[in-house]
């Protein structure tokens, strides 16, 4: 069955406080992790830039995902950190007073944050063919979703 794409009607839903958290991580070469920790990434601090990019991405979610409703986000927090000698993890928390949830905003924040880490370290991750055999974005998922007063 083919359906015409359309945005779901949320008019009848209650405006309530909604929260969501998402998590994801990127696997990098241990040498790249060392460069991050030592502040030796040519483009700057990937953890800080990734966090800022994630915040911006959460606000732009309806532009990237055409069926997502534009909502008034009241808080976004994105934290990226080195987890071990192979991974940078990013967590995003999004809060809004809205008729619909904010999990897509949290997922978008995490995904774009991780893509920014990749962009900033790609010089150190490439192999001799210009590919990224060790670099993987993984475990992107919603870790928490809360509706207050539903």
Q: What does 57-68 look like in DSSP terms, one character per residue?
A: HHHHHHHHSTTS
- Tally the C-alpha atoms within 13 A of residue 101's C-alpha that lie toward its C-beta: 13
| Catalytically active residues, by annotation | 119
Distance in angstroms (rounded) separating the CA atoms of residues 147 and 19: 7
Neighbours of 101 (CB within 10 A): 19
Distance in angstroms (rounded) separating the CA atoms of residues 23 and 26: 11
Taking Cα atoms as reference points, which of 39, 34, 24 lies closest to residue 116? 24
């Amino acid at each position: 069955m083919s359906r015409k794409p359309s945005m779901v009607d949320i008019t009848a839903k209650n405006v309530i406080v909604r929260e969501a958290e998402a998590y994801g991580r990127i696997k990098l070469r241990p040498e790249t992790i060392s460069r991050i920790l030592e502040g030796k990434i040519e483009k700057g601090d990937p953890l800080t830039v990734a966090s800022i990019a994630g915040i911006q991405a959460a606000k732009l979610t309806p532009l990237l995902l055409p069926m997502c409703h534009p909502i008034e986000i009241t808080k976004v927090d994105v934290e990226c950190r080195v987890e071990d000698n192979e991974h940078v993890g990013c967590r995003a928390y999004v809060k809004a007073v809205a008729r619909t949830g904010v999990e897509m905003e949290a997922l978008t924040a995490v995904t774009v944050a991780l893509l920014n880490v990749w962009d900033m370290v790609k010089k150190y991750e490439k192999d001799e063919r210009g590919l990224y055999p060790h670099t993987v974005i993984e475990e992107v998922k919603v870790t928490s979703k809360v509706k207050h007063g539903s």
